[in-house]
A = this chain, B = another copy of it.
Amino acid sequence: MSKDKGFVTEITPQSEDFSRWYIDVIKKAELMDYSPVRGCIVFRPDGYELWENMQKELDQRFKDTGHRNAYFPLFIPESFFQKEKEHVEGFNPELPWVTEAAGEKLEERLAIRPTSETMFGHMYAKWINSYRDLPLLINQWANVVRWEKRTLPFLRTSEFLWQEGHTAHEDEEDARKETMQMLEVYTDFVQNVLAIPVIKGQKTPSERFAGAVDTYSIEAMMKDGRAVQAGTSHYLGTKFAVAFDIKYLDRENTQQFCHTTSWGVSTRLIGALIMVHGDDRGLVLPPKVAATQVIMIPIGPPKTRDVVIAKTDELYAQLKAAGIRVRVDDRSDVSPGWKFNEYEMRGIPIRLELGPRDLENGQCVLVSRVSGEKKSVALDNLVAEVQSLLAQIHDDMFERALSFREENFFSVETLDEYKTAMEEKRGFALAGWCGSEACEKQVKEETGATSRNIPFEPAETKSKCLVCGDESQHTVVFARAY
């Protein structure tokens, strides 16, 4: 046991230092490593596989809603950014520039894409001629770069992976429908696949995407009470269409500007799921994206080893055939106790233990990573038991995260009240806001919290601005954010 304990204490407890806990866990579970390039990480296989599993789920949803994938250039000419004023102001401070290639200075600097509205805009102007070409619904899976001053693995890195949807529509109604549809797709994915409850809402003007008319987001609460923006969907109006001349001939034979949208989620979701579900023993992975859903560990003395392993292999084949992602660790030079800790640390949803006594009784033991509960189940019903426990674990994780959020969601009337609350505990605050940028700014300066969004369904409606006390225009969620 002492060895086992020593193993786990390599991870800083969350209560001691949440940031250190996070770094300890992702390094120890081999999800990432730092690279020699400032602010860029290496996604190691166990980390990348989480992203691959997310991609599969999202990609299917995008295709089911009529989108197709494409790939646009990494480089964006400097002149493109100039075309949409707010866009260039928003992204210029973060751009890396290619100035030389193949031994020669370039005539025009090329930015590494921070997002691709401009490149899509340029191409859409070429491709769209008539209302028959609309809606144009394209998604791209790509790497993007934003040269960040302060970085944090997965949550904020200079290079990251993401998807960016870009769509063009005949009119505002259709574009807004798309914007909301994709927000719903993200909500469904984050809640029902990653088991993370989110708050859907609209961003305040100061937190909008650079160049958007309206930005919508889903916001999630981490275990330290801070927020992560888990996905955004933007209605861009005709801003990019005007900047890039994306026009079409309508049904009355008149030239019209398209209404466009964009929407994206990124590898920061890997960081979010770790910070929402992890505990002092390590990762807790949502079953639907866990690379391994069940780790099988044969136990018992050497003399029964062969028969236990034979049965393990047989059950492994059954589970695998049922589409369950399963692995066996039958190493004999490592103790079961070490393995238990190891796979708990790695967040594998179910541990399956099988020993000689179990075998005699025609059963095995399933242990849930999230609740720690052990359960003996009949071997002849194993597939169904595992499937049902995986579903249960997903639900448990969602409920747990939801309870945590509810416990750390406080309602405030004034800025002072909010400051006091933030001194004692961390979390999200619901407050009234008059709509002035000055009041929003003051909240940020005095508490470090930003407006996360104006929730569609606030728990209550606030009547006064928390800063100036004037009549509230919106009920807003404030939080410190990653």
Contacts and interface: CB of A to CB of B under 8 A. Distances in A.
A48 B70 contact: yes
A82 interface: no
B42 A69 contact: no
A98 B101 contact: no
A311 interface: no
A58 to B, nearest CB: 14
A126 interface: yes
Contacts of A72: 35, 42-43
B149 A102 contact: yes
B37 A73 contact: yes
Contacts of A33: 123, 126-127
Interface in A41-57: 41-45, 47-49, 51-52
Interface string A134-148: 000010001101010
A74 B41 CA distance: 10
A36 interface: yes
Contacts of A149: 102
A93 interface: yes
A318 interface: no
A71 B142 CA distance: 12
A143 B74 contact: yes
Given A40-B74, A69-B48, A143-B143, A96 B98 contact: yes
Nearest to A101: B96
A404 B257 CA distance: 50
A122 interface: yes
Interface residues of A, number: 54
Contacts of A458: none
A242 interface: no
Interface string A102-127: 11000001101000000100110011
A93 B149 CA distance: 31
Given A33-B126, A35-B123, A45 B73 contact: no
A97 B95 contact: no
Contacts of A47: 70
Contacts of A409: none
A149 B36 CA distance: 30
Nearest to A68: B45
Contacts of A109: 100
A418 B93 CA distance: 59
Nearest to A76: B37
Contacts of A313: none
A94 interface: yes
A93 B100 contact: no
Contact of A102 (B49, B76, B93): B93
B112 A42 contact: no
A336 interface: no
Given A93-B102, A102-B94, A42 B71 contact: yes
Interface string A29-41: 0000101110011
A40 B73 contact: yes
Contacts of A76: 37
- Between A68, A80, A92, the greatest number of chain B beta carbons within 10 A of the residue's beta carbon is seen for A68
A164 to B, nearest CB: 14
A35 B119 contact: yes
A97 B74 CA distance: 13
Contact of A70 (B40, B43, B100, B143): B43
Nearest to A267: B71
Contacts of A41: 73
Interface of A: 33, 35-37, 40-45, 47-49, 51-52, 68-77, 80, 92-103, 109-110, 112, 119, 122-123, 126-127, 138, 142-143, 145, 147, 149, 159, 161
30 contacts: A33-B123, A35-B119, A35-B122, A36-B77, A36-B122, A37-B76, A37-B77, A42-B71, A42-B73, A43-B71, A45-B68, A45-B138, A48-B68, A48-B71, A49-B68, A51-B71, A52-B69, A71-B143, A73-B159, A74-B112, A74-B159, A75-B159, A93-B103, A95-B101, A96-B100, A99-B100, A100-B109, A102-B149, A112-B112, A143-B143
